[in-house]
Structure 1
Amino acid sequence: MPNAAASGQASHDASRPLSRWTLFAFALPAAPISAMGLPLVVHLPPFYAGTLGLGLVTVGAIFMLARFWDVFTDPVLGILSDRYETRWGRRRHWIVLSVPIMLLSVYMIFMPPVAVTAAYLVFWLFVLYVGWTLLTISHMSWGAELTPDYHERSRVQGAREVALILGMVFVLTLPVLIEQMNPENLAQARVASMGWFVLILLPIAVALAVWRVPERPTQRPEHVPLKQAVQALIESRPLQVVLAADLLGGVSGGLVASMFLFLAEDALKLGSYSSLMLLGYFISG
């Protein structure tokens, strides 16, 4: 009967509300996640195209290839995250593994120590997306498994979204402060400040989450066969509507974000106020 008692105790613990400290510790890695993802779309393309001289066509093609690479790595790393467990659980070791990949690639992308070529950008972007995918998929999956309760899961995802928003606001505030200092190389200083934000906060946030938030034992997820998934996409009208809305929202948001600095700096000639306008845009959103 000890096993039954332990099972009952685990079930009781799983049904209890998560503490605010647990929610904070779990959600904190989302801040450096968003702080890395936003500059990747907004600041890095004009930085590499203009300041580092790779050109818009080359940079646009490279970032497009990197996004297609992300389409491939998402399901592959998602399956790995589901299948291979350790004594730490199913998710935390993958999150820890992603940190050195992220730190190295963020440094090489945000603060390139050598002359940049197209091949350099392709290589480090691809490495960055491997670490990014491993971190984000494992973190989101971990959040879905923290509690079996529907409303508690809403609290978990709500806390994560708050951390994502705060990460974006903080990282967008840095270029505004840098611009007021009027450094000699403004574009490089702006990008470097955002890179250092991620380099400092990410290992601290992940260490706190892994240390303070336990994993709840769960059954291994069953993956939907590709044929069944395609059939559901063809036959389910609600699923089609949800995916179409998500696609349109992602494309429209991505277009605005990626073109904002080009519009503010090149067309409107806002100069040092460009980052302030970008911060205002995201805060209002």
Structure 2
Amino acid sequence: MSVSKGKAQLTTLQRICYGAGESSATLANTTIGFFFLFFMTDVIGLAPALAGAVVMIGNIWDAVTDPFVGWLSDRSHNRFGRRRVWILGSAIPLGITFALIWSSPGSALGQWATFAYYTAFYMAYIFVITSFMVPYTTLGMELTNDYDERTSLAMWRMIFNIGLSLPATVLPKILVDMFEQPKQGYFTMGWIIGAAIMLFPFLVIFAGRERPMKTDDTPFFKSFVESLKFRPFRQAVLMYIFAWLPIKLLMAVMLYYFKYYLNMARSFELAMGIMMVVATLALPFWNYLSGRLDKRRAYMVGLASFSLMIMVLLLPKTFLARLLPVIAFLIGFTVSSMHIMPVAIVPEAIDAGIAAGVPASEGIWNGVVTFVQKTSSALAIFMIGVVLDLVGYNAGAAVQTNATLVALKVLVAVVPALLTVLGIIVASGFRIGRGSQAAEKAGAR
């Protein structure tokens, strides 16, 4: 399928309104990622194993519901549009369910009852945010079929995503610390941020109406399997995974790396701040590069640059300490490409699948992407814990074993670099792009 450059269909305001929808997920998921486990163990008093099980069950439920919600949204018929009715309908429940996971069931409940309480509320939140994010993601490819304009939509999504990540790591702690009782602080924080995340979905309605698309009547499980049989889509999903997994690994391991290898725990916020700010500011550059080259080549340039920069973290700690701001700047610049390019590439593979007659509709394609992404991320985070256990990591110890320090360097540098190399290899065989002659053969399975 040849993907040509068409006339731009959306105004800048419409693109911003669409991108703003990403704010709800960023505020909610970043807050949960940094504080929810700590809240359950240190504020509520839930046993760490049970608290971890709450998160694990939620992740499994999240992965399972993604393709199903996509399949259901494909079959929604409403004057507001089949995606927008889900986006608008989930806005208020999203804020409420987010707030409820920060409530306290009271000290009278035992461990298992408390576990059931948070599992139920967390699963409710997961279903609601899935009901928002899968239709929202699908809407992006249905607002326009222009090759470069889709990259622009992805850029605006990532501007809000990366731009709000830093405030989302700072604001919750500020709100909690305003109260003498932590339970009251977390409860209030939940409702304040919950109220904020209710608002952004309403901006998405000003992004425009989705293009009319034919609803596919293929049963859910057959649609799921058929989408993965389509080779260009499998490639696009792998390109997505090999770009996002390194970022997930960095998020999970970087604090350990700063605290135990560099002995610079207080510099963690500075380095992360530089990376996030630079990653946000660099998004227009990668959008421009995609226009000059194409998405596949820009993806490969970004991942190759990242793999080189991340290996710098293997150098001696004295060198890294002196050049920390510069290194954070360069890593942030390359990480920016890994946010925008995979999100922009996936819709082209989905369009190719639809054009090739694959019996799967738009919503389930995007649901499959998030299913694979969340499943692989959960597995990666689990493996980090296994590796740290195997090498003798001692939580809170001032000095870690040499094996632990080596493992941290491998996890923060070598593994992400290898994943990006795999992404480049997959991308080298991806043949869907602007004006590509080989793209006509993309429908071959």
CA drift of 1:101 comes to 2.0
Structure 1 segment 181-260 matched on structure 2, within 5 A = 184-185=180-181, 189=185, 192-193=188-189, 195-196=190-191, 198-210=193-205, 212-220=206-214, 222=216, 225-232=223-230, 236=231, 243-244=237-238, 246-247=240-241, 250-258=244-252
Structural RMSD (CA): 3.6
* Partners of 1:192 and 1:276 in 2: CA distance: 28
| Counterpart for residue 127 of structure 1 | 124
Give the SS at the match of 1:225. helix
* Partners of 2:260 and 2:191 in 1: CA distance: 27
What residue identity is the alignment partner of 1:169? L
CA drift of 1:197 comes to 5.1
Q: Which moved more, 1:149-158 or 1:196-205?
A: 196-205
| Counterpart for residue 136 of structure 2 | 139
Structure 1 segment 103-118 matched on structure 2, within 5 A = 103-109=95-101, 111-115=102-106, 117-118=114-115
Listed one character per residue, the Cα deviations across residues 41-94 of structure 1 (whole Å, up to 9, x for unaligned) are 222112212222112211112211111111111011001111112011111110
CA 1:91–1:241 in structure 2 vs 1: closer, same or farther (change >3 Å)? closer
Unaligned runs of 5+ in 2: 1-5, 278-327, 333-445
Give the SS at the match of 1:198. helix
The structure number with the bigger radius of gyration is: 2
Q: Is the 8 A contact 2:91 2:199 kept in 1?
A: no
CA 1:264–1:105 in structure 2 vs 1: closer, same or farther (change >3 Å)? farther
Give the SS at the match of 1:60. helix
What residue identity is the alignment partner of 1:95? I
Q: Is the 8 A contact 1:95 1:135 kept in 2?
A: yes
CA drift of 1:173 comes to 3.2
What residue identity is the alignment partner of 1:204? L
CA 1:246–1:56 in structure 2 vs 1: closer, same or farther (change >3 Å)? farther
Q: Is the 8 A contact 1:46 1:262 kept in 2?
A: no
CA 1:108–1:264 in structure 2 vs 1: closer, same or farther (change >3 Å)? farther
Unaligned runs of 5+ in 1: 1-13
Q: Is the 8 A contact 1:89 1:217 kept in 2?
A: no
| Counterpart for residue 174 of structure 1 | 171
CA drift of 1:153 comes to 1.3
Listed one character per residue, the Cα deviations across residues 14-45 of structure 1 (whole Å, up to 9, x for unaligned) are 94442111112221121121111112222211
What residue identity is the alignment partner of 2:197? L
| Counterpart for residue 27 of structure 2 | 35
Q: Is the 8 A contact 2:58 2:126 kept in 1?
A: yes
CA 1:119–1:265 in structure 2 vs 1: closer, same or farther (change >3 Å)? farther
Q: Is the 8 A contact 1:43 1:261 kept in 2?
A: no
CA 1:220–1:192 in structure 2 vs 1: closer, same or farther (change >3 Å)? farther
| Counterpart for residue 285 of structure 2 | none
CA 1:126–1:29 in structure 2 vs 1: closer, same or farther (change >3 Å)? same
Listed one character per residue, the Cα deviations across residues 200-249 of structure 1 (whole Å, up to 9, x for unaligned) are 32232222322x233133213546734434544xxx5x766654564455
Q: Is the 8 A contact 1:77 1:133 kept in 2?
A: yes
TM-score relative to the length of structure 2? 0.51
TM-score relative to the length of structure 1? 0.76
| Pick aligned residue for 1:71 from 59, 63, 71 | 63
| Counterpart for residue 304 of structure 2 | none
| Counterpart for residue 9 of structure 1 | none
What residue identity is the alignment partner of 2:196? L
Give the SS at the match of 2:67. helix
